[in-house]
Structure 1
Amino acid sequence: MTVTFHMEELGNGLKVIGERDPNAHTSAAGFWVSTGARDEDPGIMGVSHFLEHMMFKGTAKRTAEDVNREFDAIGAVNNAFTSAEMTAYWAHMLPENMSQSIDILADILRPSLREDDFDSEKQVILEEIAMYEDQPFWVLYEHAMERFYGKHKLSHRVLGTRETVSDMRIDRMKEYFSERYSSDNTILVASGSFDFDELVEQANDLCGEWSPSTPSRKHGVRKDVTDRSKILIPDLGQSYLVMLAEAPDCQSDDRYAAALLSHTLGGDETSKLYWSLVETGLCEEAQSSFDPRDQAGEFALWAVCSQEQLDQVEEKILEEIHSLPTTLIQDDLDRARARTATHAVIASERPLGRLNRVASNWVRRNEYTTIEQDMAAIDGVTVDDLIDLSKRYPMTPTVVARACSK
């Protein structure tokens, strides 16, 4: 029996989505909420991530200890994450434990939001921010993203800042929760071995009374910017370089070509940046990534090297970018395609990997594609497609940021 896709919308707008594989030995399920750092007012930056923490602090039915104990009792692996555009809560379990896992997940998505929990968890968030402040690359990357997106809300930091988290009040969090964690802004997704009709029935029982709010996202338009900056980090042993350029958004048909182009330039040990910078000893690390977002996107290029080599490294990266339209060959595409396809197929071998792919695609594009369709789209990209994309999105950075010790 083949993998099948199912979707049903409840009366309150919550969508139940399933990719069923009766031959799978495990199941995975989770709730994806279409909200993240870009949906926050600047004054409460970080509230989405803060809320993620608060979901595990207890409900009207369960204490925080109950939540952990019940997941442990059924052997489920569970976690959550917050990004700029979505927040997710998931579990991976044996098929016979899916119903119990969903019961726990649905319950924690209606948390008590007690003020004493809020106050104690605020300190945890501040410690997490401090931890990231000790990571030079992360500090520089957030700095570069703020320069690249400016007043656009994609410049928001997922964790927030010390100031926004310290000043946050629980009444603002509750307002945000009511607006963004509504039934019509949430999907319940399952993959692996399960009965879809039973899943819909359980969703109705657990989530049928959740209220809709008709939320919307203000996309805004990123203003073009050309910016160079440097931040000083005392006692830094190496220097860091981050460069950002405009890229296709997650709705674009160019997203497959963009991913392959980025991989060709700086994806791994077979990339152009690796051979020109890392293999030659100029850099410890040199990579690129493609980050498609909702009606926005960016190519990120970064390198780690000695401060004395920064100018030469940046020059080499620009040389590789500018030569792309004339140096791309079939072998480049074949290697990038093989590595990309391998990663995608390996991830799809487990229900949890399929869960993430199905849920992310639905949140981003409100669509379902099979792994076979994704592979066909990757296989359909030609060298001419890469060359054409490199001309329309030349990857020439408009924001360049450095982190140095002096």
Structure 2
Amino acid sequence: MVQVEIRKLKNGIPVLIENIENLNSATLGVFVATGSKNELPGEEGISHLLEHMMFKGTERRTSKEISEIIDNAGGMNNAYTSKEVTAYYVQMLSNKLEIGIDILNDMFLNSTFSEEALEKEKNVVIEEIKMYEDIPEEKVHEENATFALKGVQSNIVLGSMDSVKNMTREKLVAYFKERYTPSRMVVSVAGRVDVEKVMAQLNEGIGTMEEAGIVRDYNGEIVINPGENLIKRETNQIHLCFNTKGISLTDDLKYSVSIISNILGGNMSSRLFQKVREERGLAYSVYSYNSSYEEGGLFTVYAGTTKENYMEVVDLIKDEFKSIREEGITAEELQKAKNQFMSMLTFGLESSKSRMSRMASSYLVYKRVRSVDEIIAEIEAITLEDIKKAAAHIFDEKYYSYTVLGDL
């Protein structure tokens, strides 16, 4: 097993390093602990818009030059925004990693956030919002989270068309200065790297960033909202999301709940896939997932069905929740789910990007990098009683809610 080394830049930013000698590539990411949950009223979508703007030109380079330099080197430069994290990464051949680091340094230190580029990018993001509006299977998850969660975790990452239209350069720059600071940043790199060279280059770049000294005051409490949310839309299917309370990223029950999700709707042999699709033919797509955040979470089952059948699907979901809460699962189901998780962890080791992302995610949550062996040991130790305990915790009808989007 390759050892993870943790160093720090001169301004305190942790650098997580997994040096893999038998790879000819490397992926380096800069992670900022900020996202839609940190947005105040009037800032909806600012984290995501800022992510876009980081690629739109620096004091040294135009937007086109940023793209061309990475493309000409055969690399990839990308980013994403979530409710809690904004991440930027480059994936390069090992002997060209310094080119990618130079681009990231430039973006973080010298982005101009010009008025002209901002107006263009606001239109781009608005088109992105419209695109998701036209995809009901995507839209229902957004509407569902907004309804089922009360608090900052119900904030929509993209924001709204109105909030994006009204975003100003002053707001954008102030948010960048406040949130993109060393105490909220982590660098993660996996692949074949010259560690000393990487550290020196980072220290000359993002290692010079300073703290803003500003603390944002917001209420991070999550409240689970029960009830029914019906959204009428002209669609060919009825899109259903059924929810109950989930768990936080650090909850002791996190792996037990993930196993329950896998057994309910994680694959083609899962309970709900078999009962909803295979036995009754009520849906083409049916799956479950657990959205875990710092403050709490939401456990969701999705199904694409019909106006006539969606309530039958709701009843089937409730029945399976009740069955696992009262009767638990079988030893065979537990072992199958464990095998699935161990396979996913192992498959992730085959990609420098996956390794890089896993290290960063672990450090942001635990302030350390948990080894794959440690995680596997925790999963292996889960018992049938642990599953019943987790089911009793999340499958409580007072937390049940559902969102239905379609031609009702």
For 2:198 and 2:23, locate their aligned partners in 1 and report how far apart those are by CA, in whole Å: 17
> Contact 1:248/1:296 (CA < 8 Å) preserved in 2?
yes
The reply to whether residue 84 of structure 1 matches residue 45 of structure 2 is: no
- Residue 301 of structure 1 is matched in structure 2 by 301
Moved more, 28-37 or 380-389: 380-389
- Residue 277 of structure 2 is matched in structure 1 by 278
> Contact 2:108/2:206 (CA < 8 Å) preserved in 1?
no
> Contact 1:6/1:196 (CA < 8 Å) preserved in 2?
no
For 1:332 and 1:217, locate their aligned partners in 2 and report how far apart those are by CA, in whole Å: 45
**1:106-144 Cα deviation digits (max 9, x unpaired):** 211231100000001110000000000011122222222
> Contact 1:249/1:295 (CA < 8 Å) preserved in 2?
yes
For 2:406 and 2:94, locate their aligned partners in 1 and report how far apart those are by CA, in whole Å: 51
The reply to whether residue 104 of structure 1 matches residue 106 of structure 2 is: no
- Residue 315 of structure 2 is matched in structure 1 by 315
- Residue 402 of structure 1 is matched in structure 2 by 404
For 2:373 and 2:223, locate their aligned partners in 1 and report how far apart those are by CA, in whole Å: 37
Report percent identity of matched pairs: 27
- Residue 242 of structure 2 is matched in structure 1 by 243
Moved more, 193-202 or 110-119: 193-202
What residue identity is the alignment partner of 1:153?
Answer: V
What does residue range 35-114 of structure 1 map to in structure 2 within 5 Å?
A: 35-110=34-109, 111-114=111-114
- Residue 334 of structure 2 is matched in structure 1 by 333
> Contact 2:78/2:89 (CA < 8 Å) preserved in 1?
yes
- Residue 116 of structure 1 is matched in structure 2 by 116
For 1:61 and 1:67, locate their aligned partners in 2 and report how far apart those are by CA, in whole Å: 10
SS in 1 for 2:243: strand
What does residue range 345-364 of structure 1 map to in structure 2 within 5 Å?
A: 345-364=346-365
What residue identity is the alignment partner of 2:68?
Answer: R
**Aligned-residue offset at 1:366:** 1.7
Moved more, 237-246 or 155-164: 237-246
For 1:217 and 1:135, locate their aligned partners in 2 and report how far apart those are by CA, in whole Å: 35
**1:153-211 Cα deviation digits (max 9, x unpaired):** 11111000011111111110111000011122111111111132322222111123211
**Aligned-residue offset at 1:395:** 6.2
**Aligned-residue offset at 1:333:** 1.1
For 1:19 and 1:216, locate their aligned partners in 2 and report how far apart those are by CA, in whole Å: 33
What residue identity is the alignment partner of 1:15?
Answer: P
What does residue range 117-196 of structure 1 map to in structure 2 within 5 Å?
A: 117-150=117-150, 152-196=151-195
> Contact 2:242/2:314 (CA < 8 Å) preserved in 1?
no
**Aligned-residue offset at 1:219:** 5.2
For 2:114 and 2:307, locate their aligned partners in 1 and report how far apart those are by CA, in whole Å: 48
- Residue 198 of structure 2 is matched in structure 1 by 199
What residue identity is the alignment partner of 2:359?
Answer: V
For 2:224 and 2:205, locate their aligned partners in 1 and report how far apart those are by CA, in whole Å: 46
SS in 2 for 1:35: coil
- Residue 394 of structure 2 is matched in structure 1 by 393
SS in 2 for 1:69: helix
For 1:77 and 1:166, locate their aligned partners in 2 and report how far apart those are by CA, in whole Å: 30
- Residue 22 of structure 2 is matched in structure 1 by 23
> Contact 1:249/1:293 (CA < 8 Å) preserved in 2?
yes
Gaps (5+ residues) in structure 2?
none
- Residue 261 of structure 1 is matched in structure 2 by 260
SS in 2 for 1:230: strand
Gaps (5+ residues) in structure 1?
none
- Residue 209 of structure 2 is matched in structure 1 by 210
Closer, same or farther in 2 for the Cα pair 1:86/1:306, shift >3 Å?
same
**1:66-112 Cα deviation digits (max 9, x unpaired):** 11111012111221111111011111111111122111112112311
TM-score between both structures, scaled by the size of structure 2: 0.95
> Contact 1:16/1:203 (CA < 8 Å) preserved in 2?
no
SS in 1 for 2:308: helix
> Contact 1:251/1:295 (CA < 8 Å) preserved in 2?
no
For 1:101 and 1:69, locate their aligned partners in 2 and report how far apart those are by CA, in whole Å: 12
> Contact 2:328/2:388 (CA < 8 Å) preserved in 1?
no
SS in 1 for 2:95: helix
SS in 2 for 1:18: strand
**1:229-272 Cα deviation digits (max 9, x unpaired):** 200002x1110111121111001222111111111111111111
**Aligned-residue offset at 1:374:** 1.8
For 1:317 and 1:91, locate their aligned partners in 2 and report how far apart those are by CA, in whole Å: 41
Q: Name the Cα RMSD after superposition.
A: 1.6
The reply to whether residue 382 of structure 1 matches residue 365 of structure 2 is: no
Size of the alignment, in residue pairs?
403
> Contact 2:152/2:222 (CA < 8 Å) preserved in 1?
no
Ranges of 4+ aligned residues in structure 1 off by more than 3 Å: 214-219
TM-score between both structures, scaled by the size of structure 1: 0.95
What residue identity is the alignment partner of 1:402?
Answer: V
Closer, same or farther in 2 for the Cα pair 1:56/1:5, shift >3 Å?
same
> Contact 2:239/2:303 (CA < 8 Å) preserved in 1?
yes
Moved more, 128-137 or 222-231: 222-231
**Aligned-residue offset at 1:223:** 2.7
